[in-house]
Amino acid sequence: MGRFFRICLAGLLFSLTALTGTSSYLRAETYVVPHFAAGRIAETSTGDRRYASRFNVVNLGTSDSTVTIDAFDAAGIKLNVVIFGPSKVVPEGMGQYFIDNPEMLVSGWLRITTSQPAVVRGSIVFLQINTLDIQPLTAFPAMAYANTDSNPAEGFTSAIVPVALYEAGSTGIALAFPSSGGGQAVVNLSLRDADGRPLGDKIVRIPPNGYNSFLIEDVFPQIRSSKTGILAISTVATPVYGVAIEFQSSPFWMRTIEMSKR
């Protein structure tokens, strides 16, 4: 059961949410996807089951925009993934991009850079690839954190998010640290139950350009008794990006939870 949850976490924490909220279209030239996944999960008698990440880049500028996508693993090392899509997008046009890995499942975070102001929206897709066709089994909306000179927040230094543990489900957390210089990000995690009682504190360290993802019960086994709680996340002057996903295997459902900045 734990392996199934980790596969779901790796596949579904691809989140693209505008920094000012999912309903706003913030123009930016750099976006951070705090978690993505691509590659084969299992081989069945009818074909492969795999995750792939896909998204659209809309050019809001007045000239052609180049689009560069860099993928990084947990250690901050660039990943060699297959990216399908145009290298340029015309003004007021849209480029569609699809990220896959031919073999095993890989996960990490993405940096999307454009030469013109753009809007990014995306999703993660669970596919059944048969010998004759490709069947999307399910798709989940995604959300993109924008980096702009006029909005230097670039993530958060303090945020909270509700978490829960189910009989056949859990909450996954992913944190990305898109910084190529300096030291690591030291992230403080503090869990309280629904009545505000402390359940525990942990520290995770993320290297430059790295990320950390986990299931809430792996870091805080105390939640097995309380079942629900509030996770507080904070750093010291080092912004990070984050996303949470709640999911259950039977019946199967999943939802993205946006972290609330404090």
**Are residues 60 and 17 part of one domain?**
yes
Task: Give the side-chain half-sphere CA count within 13 A for 111.
Answer: 19
Domain end position, chosen among 126, 147, 168: 147
**Are residues 249 and 174 part of one domain?**
yes
Rounded Cα distance between 257 and 14, Å, is 12
**Are residues 137 and 10 part of one domain?**
yes
Rounded Cα distance between 101 and 3, Å, is 20
**Are residues 9 and 137 part of one domain?**
yes
**Confidence band of 237 (pLDDT split at 50, 70, 90):** confident
Domain end position, chosen among 147, 175, 200: 147
Residue 206 lies in domain: 158-261
pTM greater than the 0.85 cutoff: no
Domain end position, chosen among 121, 147, 173: 147
Give the CATH number of the domain where residue 192 resides.
2.60.290.11
Q: What is the pLDDT of residues 127-148, one digit of tens each?
A: 656 555 555 555 554 555 655 5
Domain count, the chain: 2
Type of residue found at 210: G
Say if CB 115 and CB 59 are below 8 A apart: no
- Cβ atoms within 10 A of the Cβ of 92, count? 10
The CA distances from residue 244 to 13, 17, 146, 255, in Å, are: 7, 12, 18, 9
Which helix (H) or strand (E) segment is 5 a member of? helix 2-12
**Are residues 108 and 186 part of one domain?**
no
